[in-house]
Amino acid sequence: MSIHKEGYTSIFIALIVGILPALIGDYFKAPIFLNVILLIFGCVVIGLVLNFFRNPTREITLDNNIIYAPCDGKVVVIEEVIEDEYFKGKRKQISIFMSPLNVHVNRNPVAGIVRYFKYHAGKYLVAWHPKSSTENERTTYVIQALNGQDILLRQIAGAVARRICWYVKVGESIQQGEEFGFIKFGSRVDIFLPLDAKIKVEMGQKAVGGKTILATFS
């Protein structure tokens, strides 16, 4: 277990926010009970931020027929939709909602080549809102898997999230299970699969990035 690099600044701010009130209370000789409350508040703030930016080490079983979950969270959408940014046609969509308590590292569900990437500025609707996939701040990321089939991932910022991070560029080779990005605080990842992909998860299921099998290629 380690702390993700995207968390360093936030953790520094949390330390200041968490410790400063207790120091001020002590300096002005506040009642002991108040200092204890301030200290507990500070510990909770620091603990929540450290928990959010944790980056657990995960052993990935590489398999070119498997499509892994790209993130931790809860499966909130499984449906056939029209994807009109890249495919402009029907695809199977699976969406995973990440609460602030989930690990927010985003991992490549398959190995392959990055064929398309685009960042979209946008709104900050709650991540489970139906229009968040097309109106919120988001990225669109297409991987051509080693079998030649394309899958599309969409990082979506939520009402709290204000920064999407990504580490990929068009044309590069990527490995299954490696990090491709990070979203700060509550958010969502959509994945669009070929129509003949065999779905292996259910609505409401808890997914673990790089571990849970979302689907397999036919």
Angstrom CA distances, 185 to 25, 127, 156, stand at 30, 11, 11
For residues 21 and 155, what is the distance between their CA atoms, to the nearest angstrom? 36
Mark whether 99 is an active-site residue. no
For residues 209 and 105, what is the distance between their CA atoms, to the nearest angstrom? 8
Catalytic residue among 99, 133, 187, 218: 187
| Residue 177 CB-density burial (10 A; 0-12 exposed, 13-18 middle, 19+ buried) | buried
For residues 33 and 168, what is the distance between their CA atoms, to the nearest angstrom? 50
Could you tell me the two tokens for 126?
A: 């709650």
Residue numbers annotated as active site: 187
